[in-house]
Amino acid sequence: MTRRPWNFSAGPSALPQQVLQTAAEQMQDWQGTGVSVLEMSHRGNAFMQIFEQAQIDLRRLLDLPQDYAILFGTGGAIGQNAIVPMNLMGKKAQADYIVSGSWSEKSAQQAGCYGDVRILASSGKVLEQDGKQYPAWAWFPGIADADDWQVRPDSAYLHFCSNETIGGVEFADWAALADRITAQSVGGADVPLVVDASSNILSRPLDIARTGLVYAGAQKNAGAAGLTLIIIRRDLLGRALPVCPFGFDYTKMEQAQSMYNTPPTYAIYIAGLVFRWLLEQGGVEAMEQRNRAKSRLLYNFIDQSGFYVNRVHAGFRSRMNIPFQLTADADGSLSKRFVQQAEQAGLLELKGHRSAGGMRASLYNALPLQAVQALVDFMQEFEKRYG
Ligand SMILES: *Cc1c(COP(=O)(O)O)cnc(C)c1O
């Protein structure tokens, strides 16, 4: 296999080369059937094999208890911002949201179209509600001290984003959050957690068994765009509002085994190849070790440098998406030069999100340590030249 440039894209993002190789080999003829996966009926034997294996492998990777259903949907995480409230708010017609960055902010805004949404904490600013101040999310010293998260016992769910892809803010201790809610719940009310895990699912072990619902667009860490992974605790089925389109009603989707409408067959096939690859690599535990090493290498380099900076609170730094700025670059021209020269050096897609500026390196599963080392070497050179 020839050496390709390193792709630091935030999504759609780098895939394991082995996955691309297999997909290329099977493009015109899947395992002697004489047809491409692109041409198969979603109800035929061949595709059912692909589909069922993908489910089995994902269940194994996530160590998913039997009382959770996997749904293969469409519409992306942004679609879920509306689909979740339509499915889960029910008669309660209210939900609580943590805003830790721009993705969860979008989620909260959209949910407000379907019911009463309260933002319990926000990273953007200190919030005032009922005469009480709520702290900025990124400043929380730890979940145990988050006493100001006044989860309403009558809320249908509490939504948060476990990895803010743009801001580089990650929150992975789902169990602590679940404990926190149980501890403060009035009369044992069950407020299930709903998690947008688009950009850190499969990057480390995550406590799905402590949540009600987890969703993720596949194009960050699980394959190609077009597929949305939805993992739902079965007791939360059956609550969809009448306005919910049938094709996005979790109950109907589950009853039809994700085939109420034609599922994104090719994206499911690619995700299946990624799941296989992940299992061969040692699963999410192995990924966690790698991702820890990769992100540590980059953070350590940034932190010892006076030239680059990452401003996320140490306890919430993402292992997947690392935004960084140049400490002196008033008009942004040096950042532009950085991105251009990096590209010439075979380091792609390092431009920061348009709302954040600077640079961002996304280090999803498919990107090896070697790529991060190449980036750090480049950053060192760049600093020598312009620092
Ligand atoms: C990329 C991303 C989204 C948006 O996903 P779409 O597939 O474009 O709908 C939402 N949330 C998070 C955390 C993301 O990383």
Question: 259: Cβ below 6 Å to ligand 1?
Answer: no
**Residues that are catalytic:** 103, 196, 220
Question: 199: Cβ below 6 Å to ligand 1?
Answer: yes
What is the 328 CA–ligand 1 centroid distance (Å)? Answer: 31
What is the 43 CA–ligand 1 centroid distance (Å)? Answer: 29
Predicted pLDDT at 313: 78
Q: Report the Cα 308 to chain-centroid distance in Å.
A: 26
Q: How far is CA 203 from CA 24, 158, 199, 335, 339, in A?
A: 25, 23, 8, 28, 26
Ligand 1 pocket test, pick from 97, 103, 163, 362 with the greatest ligand atom count within 8 Å of Cβ, gives 103
Backbone φ and ψ of 61, nearest 5° = -60, -40
Predicted pLDDT at 147: 59
What is the 60 CA–ligand 1 centroid distance (Å)? Answer: 24
Strands (E), the chain: 6-7, 68-73, 94-99, 116-122, 127-129, 132-134, 158-161, 163-164, 169-170, 193-196, 213-217, 228-233, 308-309, 321-326, 347-348, 359-362
Predicted pLDDT at 167: 87
Predicted pLDDT at 140: 42
Q: Distance (Å, rounded) from C-alpha 379 to C-alpha 373?
A: 10
Residues of the chain under the 70 pLDDT cut = 1-2, 123-148, 184-189
Question: 161: Cβ below 6 Å to ligand 1?
Answer: yes
pTM of the model: 0.94
End-to-end CA distance of the chain: 37
